[in-house]
């Protein structure tokens, strides 16, 4: 069995800009904070990898926004980083992150820039207003009484997609598929018992057809050979700090 793991999010922005729920980005409209006597445009951020979310902070569900003052040197690298505010448990991860960033070499170096990194856990919310989606899948086969009678033979089976258009249309919840297996554990027939949307159903059916199962008790092909697979589609919103 494999279940999806709740996703984490990290976003970056210049000080005083709003959080973005997608890829890291910086605003070009926020004025640059520079050392006294320096002039020039703010250097463009070229690469912004993140250090791993601190394991202890993840376990304790610590989230929030870390504000730092960073210094970009003549080669576009971050030569210094000082945390100004935010959860202390996230300071080192934020420093480790910005130390890896690469900017275009500034015209007048060094340049001091305030930035923010937001750390957090998406929260379940109504699908139409959600920022992202998660799919929780299980390789378990259930009989009509909900008892586990079989398992997928691989923990590396494909996960059904969760297209944005389906999520924004309000499709979320639990889908139930009925499968009939051949004697080798491959899906021979598949039917939708509980639908979420025609498009989502079609994509899930196509994916589950690639799975292979084995029974815990009994033999494949012996009646009754009508099992259920449940797939949970969850819409999530990124909290604003």
Give the tens place of pLDDT for each residue, 100-132: 999 999 998 999 999 999 898 888 899 899 988
pLDDT band, residue 205 (cuts 50/70/90): very high
pTM above 0.75, yes or no: no
Place of tokens 């275009």: 104
Mean pLDDT of 147-176: 87
Mean pLDDT of 134-149: 82
**Percentage with pLDDT > 70 across the chain:** 79
Mean pLDDT value across the chain: 80
What are the strands, taking DSSP E only, across 73-130? 78-85, 102-103, 111-120, 123-124
CA-based nearest residue to 235, from 161, 137, 168, 159: 168
Residue 172 pLDDT > 80, yes or no? yes
DSSP helix/strand/coil, 158: coil
Residue 220 pLDDT > 80, yes or no? no
Question: pLDDT: is 138 or 171 the higher one?
Answer: 171
Give me the pLDDT at residue 160, please.
Answer: 93
Express each pLDDT in 232-241 by its tens digit. Answer: 999 998 887 7
Residue 181 pLDDT > 50, yes or no? yes
Question: pLDDT: is 21 or 46 the higher one?
Answer: 46
Question: pLDDT: is 216 or 166 the higher one?
Answer: 166
Give me the pLDDT at residue 224, please.
Answer: 52
Give me the pLDDT at residue 193, please.
Answer: 94
Domains and CATH numbers, the chain: 9-120 (3.30.2420.10), 127-237 (3.30.2420.10)
DSSP helix/strand/coil, 120: strand
Measuring CA to CA, how many Å separate 100 from each of 73, 143, 220? 13, 51, 53
């Amino acid at each position: 069995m494999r279940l999806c793991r709740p996703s984490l999010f990290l976003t970056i922005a210049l000080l005083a800009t709003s959080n973005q729920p997608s890829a890291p980005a910086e605003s070009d409209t926020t004025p640059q904070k520079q050392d006294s006597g320096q002039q020039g445009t703010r250097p463009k951020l070229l690469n912004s990898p993140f250090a791993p979310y601190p394991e202890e902070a993840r376990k304790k569900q610590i989230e929030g926004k870390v504000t730092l003052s960073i210094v970009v040197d003549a080669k576009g690298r971050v030569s210094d980083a000082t945390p100004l505010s935010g959860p202390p448990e996230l300071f080192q991860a934020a420093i480790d992150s910005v130390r890896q960033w690469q900017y275009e070499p500034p015209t007048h170096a060094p340049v001091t820039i305030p930035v923010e990194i937001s750390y957090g856990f998406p929260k379940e919310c109504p699908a139409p207003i959600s920022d992202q989606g998660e799919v929780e899948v299980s390789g378990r086969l259930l009989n009509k009484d909900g008892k586990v009678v079989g398992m997928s033979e691989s923990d590396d089976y494909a996960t059904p997609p969760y297209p944005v258009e389906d999520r924004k249309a309000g499709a979320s919840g639990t889908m139930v598929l009925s499968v009939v297996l051949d004697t080798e554990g491959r899906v021979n027939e598949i039917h939708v018992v509980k639908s979420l949307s025609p498009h989502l159903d079609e994509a899930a059916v196509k994916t589950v057809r690639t799975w292979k199962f084995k029974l815990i008790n009994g033999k494949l092909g012996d009646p009754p050979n009508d099992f259920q697979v449940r797939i949970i589609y969850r819409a999530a919103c990124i909290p604003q700090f």
